[in-house]
Amino acid sequence: MGGPASIIDLARKLTQEVLLPAAMDVESSRAIPASHLDLLAASGFYGMAGPREYGGLGLDNAGACQVLEIMAGGCLSTTFVLLQHHGAVRAVAQHADASMRERWLRPLCTGERRAGLALAGAMPGPPMLRARRVSGGYVFDGTSPWVTGWGHIDTLHAAARDPGDNVVWALLDADAEASLSVEPLDMVAVMASQTVHANFHNYFVPAERITSSMPLGEWQARDAAGLRSNGSLALGVAGRCCALIGPSSLDRQLIDAREALNTASAQAMPAARAAAAELAMRAASALVVAHGSRSILASSQAQRLAREAMFLLVFGTRPAIKEHLSRLLHP
């Protein structure tokens, strides 16, 4: 595959030749072509930050974030589905025991297995998805309201909370059955991501499927340090808007927002994430104004990007990010 520069070049090539030309059709059909995701897997992007010895590309976080930004500027739905997969890759690479790494990491890095994310048990407040220890593993009960990529994934990296307020992470089979049912969500943006509401009914999780268990406070500290990659989606949408508008002061603001995300500490990351999302919204609004009345047509890139920017105001919004966004939008 070559070094990071060649991987970035390949991401640009696939975005310009495949993702961007099809983006409007993908959204209007509400379905990502399987060929899109198969191409990303064959090109190594399912393992872009995975270890090379397990079939990954070995990109560092900065390189992986650059790939996500490039692709998000082409087709946000496709990139959104790809992004969810990498939580499972990181979890197995960094936290799982040797046996689990040997069994799971190569299939995840190559895209032989493709993962989604059920985050409900790790979010602040009362747990929506609960974990109860039983002989041989755990039982998960409850709901996870936002699971992306259903129909494109065979694995679900799910977080549930046990009675001791520990977050229990596990790799589950993404099959609708008696103990796991899903309800499609009718969204107004990123519709092709096939996002569902998942319901768990006494779902048994064998002990060998557990990637980690940690106190909620420890998970939240790790989560705060890892929020950078989600900001790439906002940068990608803002960048596509800037490209369609032409040279403007937004170009400099995009560079500044990227730099703020790249250099932010865990404490500063919520403000940097909020600024990137707010920039995407302003850039999309500027594009609508620039394109005028044709922006309202269903065939317009401007309306698609405006809806995507709205989506990014709420996607992955932790309380601290929401607070900073409120200040930016209501000074």
Handedness of CA 116, 307, 261, 220 (dihedral sign): negative
- Convert the pLDDT of each residue in 67-123 to its tens digit: 999 999 999 999 999 999 999 999 999 888 899 999 999 999 999 999 999 998 888
Q: Which burial class, exposed, middle or buried, applies to 127 when counting CB atoms under 10 A from its CB (0-12, 13-18, 19+)?
A: buried
Average pLDDT over residues 216-237: 87
275 HSE (CA, 13 A, CB side): 18
Across 176-187, b (16+ Cβ under 10 Å) vs e yields eeebbebeebee
| Structure tokens given for 29 | 């059909």
Query: Residue 317's domain spans which residues?
Result: 226-329
The answer on 105 and 9 residing in a single domain is yes
The answer on 126 and 93 residing in a single domain is no
| Structure tokens given for 68 | 């996500």
CATH no. for residue 236? Answer: 1.20.140.10
Boundary (domain end) residue, out of 215, 236, 269: 215
| Structure tokens given for 232 | 């790439």
CA 310 to chain centre: 16
pLDDT for res 270: 92
Could you write out the DSSP letters of every residue in 128-160?
A: SEEEEEETTEEEEEEEEEEE--TTT-SEEEEEE
The answer on 167 and 94 residing in a single domain is no
Asked if pLDDT for residue 318 goes beyond 70, the answer is yes
* pLDDT-derived band at 1, boundaries 50, 70, 90: low
How far, in Å, CA of 109 to CA of 50, rounded?
6
* pLDDT-derived band at 232, boundaries 50, 70, 90: very high
The answer on 231 and 136 residing in a single domain is no
Q: Is residue 46 a contact partner of residue 82, using CB atoms and an 8 Å limit? A: yes
The answer on 211 and 270 residing in a single domain is no
Average pLDDT over residues 254-270: 94
- Kindly state whether residue 221 falls inside one of the protein's structural domains: no
How far, in Å, CA of 201 to CA of 245, rounded?
49
| Structure tokens given for 54 | 């397990």
Boundary (domain end) residue, out of 160, 188, 215: 215
How far, in Å, CA of 18 to CA of 15, rounded?
6
pLDDT for res 3: 77
pLDDT for res 95: 86
pLDDT for res 40: 97
Amino acid sitting at position 112: E
pLDDT for res 4: 80
- Convert the pLDDT of each residue in 124-181 to its tens digit: 889 999 999 999 999 999 999 999 999 999 999 999 999 999 999 999 999 878 899 9
* pLDDT-derived band at 187, boundaries 50, 70, 90: very high
pLDDT for res 99: 92
Average pLDDT over residues 222-242: 90
User: What residues form DSSP beta bridges with 98?
Assistant: none
Kindly report whether the global pTM for this prediction surpasses the value 0.85: yes
The answer on 138 and 193 residing in a single domain is yes
Average pLDDT over residues 263-275: 93
Boundary (domain end) residue, out of 110, 126, 143: 110
Asked if pLDDT for residue 331 goes beyond 90, the answer is no
Question: By percentage, how much of the chain surpasses pLDDT 90?
Answer: 84
CB atoms near residue 298 (< 10 Å): 9
Secondary structure letter of residue 299 according to DSSP: T
